[in-house]
Structure 1
Amino acid sequence: MSGRMRLRMLPENTGILRSPLHFENADVGGEMVIFNQEKCILCRKCMQDCYPQAIQKENEKMTVSGECMLCGHCVAICPKGAVSICDYEDEPEEYIKEKFQIESDNMLHMIKFRRSIRNYREKIVEREKLEMMIEAGRYTATVSNRQEISYIVVQDKKNELKHMVLKKVEQYVNGENAVQWQEKLFRNASVIIYIVGDNAINAGLAAQNMELMAATLGLGIFYNGYLTKISGSFTEIREFLQIGEKEIQLCFMAGYPAVEYRRTAPRKKPEILWM
């Protein structure tokens, strides 16, 4: 597993993965951001790029006030690698154009070619691929760098979740319709991923990056509003997912597609106001 990411299994092999939150209160910049004075050349690039204006030059040293939100821009922009944030475990990666850049045409074609997958092969998704998807979500922008999003990945205990959900559904529909709901809710997918947090925009942005990563790994996903609503509405399911008072913002199925698409699908022309 990558050293940049640490996921922990919940007790008793529940088959649910969670990613930890990094911090609850961002008003700790002065304690967390560290300047290596031997490397620092006082170029002030970090100060100029600091959105909350938390970095100052004092007594021939760069310092940070309590307004810092630990966004890491100072780490990323420093030409000498003189800045670090002690609250984060992952090591920054140096920018290498050949490694980091994606051709714009290739990116657009991948976006055009993606489809919502409703039919999956009977194949388990490897843990390494799930971790790469969550890594893509973890590095997504969040409002005020809150990084409050967490993930619940259900694969080993999928059948237990399915039974629990369908038992609730059967209270409201008859037997024939219950079978249809089983197809509608789970679609034979190998894994179900919940994105949990208190901001729908943060969750949606993370999910989009996760979907793009899934496409590069040969996986497909299907956003499931029905399952999102049901899972968040019943105490028994919430307890099974161990989400406490947090809210499920969305969930999606993931797995290996059992269908092969040959071309992109048509779309309406965009409505654009150029001003």
Structure 2
Amino acid sequence: MTDCPVNILVIGAEPPTVGAGRENDCIGCQHCLAVCPTGAVSVQGKNPDDSLPLHDAALPSLETVELLVKGRRSVRRYRDEDVDRVLLQRLLTSALQAPTARNNHQVAFTVVDRRSDMDRLRRLTMECAAEALRAGTVAADYGYLRQMVEGWQRYEADLLYRWAPHLLVASAPRESAAPFQDTTIALSYFELLARVAGLGVLWNGMAVIALRLFPELRQTIGLPDGQQIGFAMSFGWPAVTYHRTVQHDSVPICWVSETPS
């Protein structure tokens, strides 16, 4: 009862129930189902027996997670190999458990999951960029597109997708409370899960720019209408192995207790 964020549970002679007239106030967080040690509470038709048990012994150590975070790399070299759909489904489903503003869980993942489709998207992107440069419809701020197109036309170098076999685009409804934040958090979850599974990822800002500039790309990958693109990730099996963490300079941390009043 005390863990309910909207305080709609009441208890008396009977087990906990939703207070009269408060049914529509439930935000579906399922805290009541998760927090009850004996699994006595169900909500929205969910059976607590179908949930995974949480035990400290099953969780990774702080040192393990710390190494995972410190050891992450932006991967730009990939094997020419598809990632199995079953593994992808597992990673994406877990990543979508990420928190969202107002608990609305409206983040959508659009996945280019086959190399053949990725090759078509890659060539179409280069064609759209080349045409935009010829027509002068690209702002000067996007000068990198010229380098990208020249590299493709001269050397067939993929400076945008880095020959990654897959692309993941996170989007959310434009009217949602925090579409950019929600999609970024979901992709961060995916990155950590992908890293544990042995995959490499690249936060791909150029892919986001291309998707925003060229409607043909959004249509090609079937991006849902009315969706705001948050960000995109190239990913796949890495063709490079990193053997140690890097050494970033210390970042400033402001401790409020040490701030002069």
Distance of aligned partners of 1:177 and 1:141 in 2 relative to their CA distance in 1, 3 Å threshold: closer
Sequence identity of aligned pairs in percent?
A: 25
Kept after mapping to 1: 8 A contact 2:148/2:160: no
User: Which one of 172, 179, 183 corresponds to residue 132 of structure 2?
Assistant: 172
Q: TM-score, normalised by structure 2?
A: 0.80
User: Which one of 28, 47, 51 corresponds to residue 92 of structure 1?
Assistant: 51
- 2:118 corresponds in structure 1 to 158
What is the CA-CA distance between 1:194 and the residue it aligns to? 0.6
Unaligned runs of 5+ in 1: 1-46
Unaligned runs of 5+ in 2: 135-145, 174-178
- 2:200 corresponds in structure 1 to 220
Cα distance in 2, alignment partners of residues 246 and 173 from structure 1: 27
User: C-alpha root-mean-square deviation of aligned residues, in Å?
Assistant: 2.2
- 1:77 corresponds in structure 2 to 35
Kept after mapping to 2: 8 A contact 1:195/1:249: yes
Q: TM-score, normalised by structure 1?
A: 0.76
Of the structure 1 ranges 85-94 and 138-147, higher mean CA displacement relative to structure 2 is found in 85-94
Distance of aligned partners of 1:48 and 1:121 in 2 relative to their CA distance in 1, 3 Å threshold: same
Count of residue pairs the alignment pairs up? 228
Which residue type is aligned with residue 9 of structure 2?
A: I
Cα distance in 1, alignment partners of residues 132 and 47 from structure 2: 47
Cα distance in 2, alignment partners of residues 58 and 160 from structure 1: 63
Is 1:48 aligned to residue 6 of structure 2?
Answer: no
Deviation readout 1:24-73 (Å, 9 max, x if unpaired): xxxxxxxxxxxxxxxxxxxxxxx100111122236634222221100010
Is 1:257 aligned to residue 238 of structure 2?
Answer: yes
Distance of aligned partners of 1:88 and 1:224 in 2 relative to their CA distance in 1, 3 Å threshold: farther
Cα distance in 1, alignment partners of residues 42 and 181 from structure 2: 28
The 5 Å alignment of 1:122-201 reads 122-156=80-114, 157-173=117-133, 177-180=148-151, 183-198=158-173, 199-201=179-181
User: Which one of 50, 60, 64 corresponds to residue 14 of structure 2?
Assistant: 60
What SS does the aligned partner of 2:132 have? coil
Per residue, is there more strand in 1 or in 2? Answer: 1
What SS does the aligned partner of 1:151 have? strand
What is the CA-CA distance between 1:105 and the residue it aligns to? 0.7
Which residue type is aligned with residue 52 of structure 1?
A: V
Per residue, is there more helix in 1 or in 2? Answer: 2
What is the CA-CA distance between 1:142 and the residue it aligns to? 1.1
- 1:16 corresponds in structure 2 to none
Kept after mapping to 1: 8 A contact 2:148/2:158: no
Which residue type is aligned with residue 187 of structure 1?
A: R
- 1:105 corresponds in structure 2 to 63
Kept after mapping to 2: 8 A contact 1:197/1:247: yes
Cα distance in 1, alignment partners of residues 237 and 228 from structure 2: 28
Cα distance in 1, alignment partners of residues 148 and 189 from structure 2: 34
Cα distance in 2, alignment partners of residues 176 and 187 from structure 1: 14
Which residue type is aligned with residue 164 of structure 1?
A: L
Cα distance in 1, alignment partners of residues 39 and 133 from structure 2: 61
Deviation readout 1:49-99 (Å, 9 max, x if unpaired): 011112223663422222110001001011221222346699311223332
